[in-house]
Amino acid sequence: MSKLVIVGTVAFDAIETPFGKTDKILGGAATYIGLAASLFKVDGAIVSIVGGDFPKENLRMLEEKGMDLSGLEVVESGKTFFWSGKYHNDMNTRDTLVTDLNVLADFNPKVPENYRNSQVVMLGNLHPLVQLSVIEQMESPRLIVLDTMNFWMDNALDDLKKVIAKVDVVTINDEEARQLSGEYSLVKAAQKIMEMGPEYVVIKKGEHGALLFGNDDVFFAPAMPLREVFDPTGAGDTFAGGFTGYLAKTENYTFSNMKNAVINGSALASFCVEKFGPERLLELSNKEVYQRLNQFKSLTQFDIRLT
Amino acid sequence: MSKLVIVGTVAFDAIETPFGKTDKILGGAATYIGLAASLFKVDGAIVSIVGGDFPKENLRMLEEKGMDLSGLEVVESGKTFFWSGKYHNDMNTRDTLVTDLNVLADFNPKVPENYRNSQVVMLGNLHPLVQLSVIEQMESPRLIVLDTMNFWMDNALDDLKKVIAKVDVVTINDEEARQLSGEYSLVKAAQKIMEMGPEYVVIKKGEHGALLFGNDDVFFAPAMPLREVFDPTGAGDTFAGGFTGYLAKTENYTFSNMKNAVINGSALASFCVEKFGPERLLELSNKEVYQRLNQFKSLTQFDIRLT
């Protein structure tokens, strides 16, 4: 089994959906990624930063899930990153109400000494230069996966392009792929992004599933059709955690195994949206994951004999 | 092999997309359905109506594809149904510019005597009472598939509900499924529609694929990711023709075989959008279909062992 380094926010979120609203609850990209990856029992480390207001029991919970937190800096005099958002009725769009960077404004990531030889690196959505700094601390990673968003395309495009050139996989949503590439067709968009450096691109389409592109190959995983999507917060990060967690566990970085990783990521994301924040991931059992993977099989597998 | 009765429009379309525009070209639901079904070499009959202005070579072409046209009425003194539409840049929405019913206003469908014992009936989008009349002429069909659209929900809802109660499969797009059921979640929408009578519901999501629902089962087929969608006209009807053509050919109406039918429908629809109108279907070879089905396999099939 490979070691996995995760960099990203560990944060407070306040979320409003048509189904209700929360006070400040546990959030952040690295939280969702770590919780998802932990289901594969990988040896993972979270590199992040929180303030003195961050509950110690949340840190203990992440450690109990198997995450090494020696690279998670606690600034006792500072406050934890806070995001607040409100989803529209269709759940596909949201307004950001508050973004308080707090301690994240001066985040200087330090990968723990004994994780610098990790084979898999998951760069959660953060300033591209923070992501770059993590790459530079790694010895010889086998697979670097980068998640990003339109904010960095608008505000730090040159830095973003620098880090994209150094990674193996980019995960990005459909509108962002169009913005980054200038192409409407997702097939063309993925090709243009691959020309920037990465060998693979995952385009996330929310409730419409995810596409994996590599060289001349393409694979599609649907989102699980659900009776209700309760809160989409963290679904993309959960996908990334399932994707990299599965790859770290299986140590097989071929396109064929990445298909399985996409299915595992999609299965975990389908749980994430069932409750507010990371609540559903926290209580998730391996038996439930197994059943959901079986549902994905019957959802997508067919038997046409082509001779 | 089963016999297949197809009812629907045979028409002229004038289409404008971001890639260009056409004069009056061959169109109509039954045309696309028939062309798609003909690829399975089924014994099919088109029940429809055209005016004296409809080119005889189009009729010959449909006959050469294996379609029986003894139920296609030619009103020499009348004009053929004409539709004109313009697609927006995203290709997912369109404006209808012209709808001239012409001979369709007095269409009284007559299923040819020797097709009344057909096992499969495909009711293309038409007034629900026309669809109902076809059902009443059939002896003991094994599978009745109905396609419809929001226009009939707005203008003939009671008649539409009457015919929905008598069919086995409803194919409908996502927004129409929401309108018909009053449910936003497609899972709940499909359940409500099945409560109206049909055992199966296919929800078409355009570029986002199609969902097949039945009892407690659900299956998803993506749309083939294409470099360019040239003209979506007829894609839904082509899907329906591939779906019913495959089922008529294999004579197996289980959910498991309907999965294969959905994949065949999706594969043929992916060709349809590559050129204007039915142009791509007219030139399509069985070898190309075979290759596209193989592409669908590698697009969707994965190999997670669950033990």
Calpha distance A15→A97 (Å, rounded): 10
Amino acid at B178: R
Return mean pLDDT, chain B.
Answer: 96
State the pLDDT at residue A89.
Answer: 83
pLDDT at B90 over 90: no
State the pLDDT at residue A307.
Answer: 61
The dihedral sign for the CA sequence A43, A161, A237, A201: negative
Cβ distance B158 to B128 under 8 Å?
no
Query: For the packed helices A235-250 and A255-272, what is the interaxial angle rounded to 10 degrees?
Result: 140
- Give A-chain residues touching B219 at CB under 8 angstroms: 298-300, 302
Chain B residues contacting A via beta carbons under 8 Å:
89-90, 184-188, 205, 208-209, 211, 217-220, 222, 225-229, 256, 259-260, 262-264, 290, 293-294, 297-304, 306
CA B254 to chain centre: 20
- Give A-chain residues touching B188 at CB under 8 angstroms: 227
Residue pLDDT, tens place only, A92-131? 789 999 999 999 999 999 999 999 999 999 999 999 999 9
Determine whether the interchain pair B293/A306 forms a contact, defined as Cβ–Cβ distance below 8 Å.
Answer: yes
pLDDT at A285 over 70: yes
pLDDT at B82 over 80: yes
* Confidence class for position B306, pLDDT limits 50, 70, 90: confident
Which of A205, A222, A260 minimises the CB distance to B304? A260
DSSP A220: E
* Confidence class for position B51, pLDDT limits 50, 70, 90: very high
Percentage with pLDDT > 70 across chain A: 100
Q: What tokens were used for B93?
A: 């929405």
Determine whether the interchain pair B227/A299 forms a contact, defined as Cβ–Cβ distance below 8 Å.
Answer: no
* Confidence class for position B161, pLDDT limits 50, 70, 90: very high
Give how far B168 is from chain A: nearest CA, Å: 21
Q: In whole angstroms, how far apart are CA B282 and each of B8, B23, B231, B244, B276?
A: 18, 18, 15, 18, 11
Which of A188, A297, A302 minimises the CB distance to B260? A302
Give how far B220 is from chain A: nearest CA, Å: 6
Q: What tokens were used for B259?
A: 């999965």
Largest Cα span, chain A = 68
Q: What is the pTM of this model?
A: 0.95
Residue pLDDT, tens place only, A208-220? 999 999 989 999 9
Q: Strands A43-51 and A72-75: what pairing?
A: parallel
Nearby residues of B240 by Cβ (< 8 Å), 6 or more positions away: B29, B32, B33, B36, B122, B124, B145, B147, B171, B265
Average of per-residue pLDDT across A190-218: 97
Measured from the Cβ of residue B117, the count of other Cβ atoms closer than 10 Å reads: 13
Query: What do you get for the CA distance between the two ends of chain A, in Å?
Result: 38
State the pLDDT at residue B305.
Answer: 80
- Give B-chain residues touching A229 at CB under 8 angstroms: 185
Q: In whole angstroms, how far apart are CA A199 and each of A126, A167, A213, B174, B300?
A: 21, 8, 8, 34, 20
State the pLDDT at residue B307.
Answer: 61
Residue pLDDT, tens place only, B177-204? 999 999 999 999 999 999 999 999 999 9
Determine whether the interchain pair A219/B290 forms a contact, defined as Cβ–Cβ distance below 8 Å.
Answer: no
Q: Strands B72-75 and B43-51: what pairing?
A: parallel
Return mean pLDDT, chain A.
Answer: 96
pLDDT at A185 over 90: yes
Give how far A5 is from chain B: nearest CA, Å: 24
The dihedral sign for the CA sequence A254, A260, A264, A265: positive
pLDDT at A238 over 90: yes
Residue pLDDT, tens place only, B105-126? 999 999 999 999 999 999 999 9
Determine whether the interchain pair A219/B185 forms a contact, defined as Cβ–Cβ distance below 8 Å.
Answer: no
Percentage with pLDDT > 90 across chain A: 94
Return the residue of A nearest to B230 by Cα: A185
Percentage with pLDDT > 70 across chain B: 100
Amino acid at B146: L
Determine whether the interchain pair B225/A294 forms a contact, defined as Cβ–Cβ distance below 8 Å.
Answer: no
What is the ipTM metric for this complex? Answer: 0.93
Average of per-residue pLDDT across A213-241: 96
Which of A204, A287, A304 to substitute to test the interface with B, most B CBs within 10 Å? A304
Determine whether the interchain pair A187/B299 forms a contact, defined as Cβ–Cβ distance below 8 Å.
Answer: no
Report how many Cβ contacts below 8 Å link chain A to chain B: 95
Determine whether the interchain pair A185/B228 forms a contact, defined as Cβ–Cβ distance below 8 Å.
Answer: yes
Calpha distance B258→B269 (Å, rounded): 16
Which of B211, B219, B306 minimises the CB distance to A293? B306
Determine whether the interchain pair A263/B302 forms a contact, defined as Cβ–Cβ distance below 8 Å.
Answer: yes
Average of per-residue pLDDT across B271-278: 96
- Give B-chain residues touching A300 at CB under 8 angstroms: 219-220, 300-302
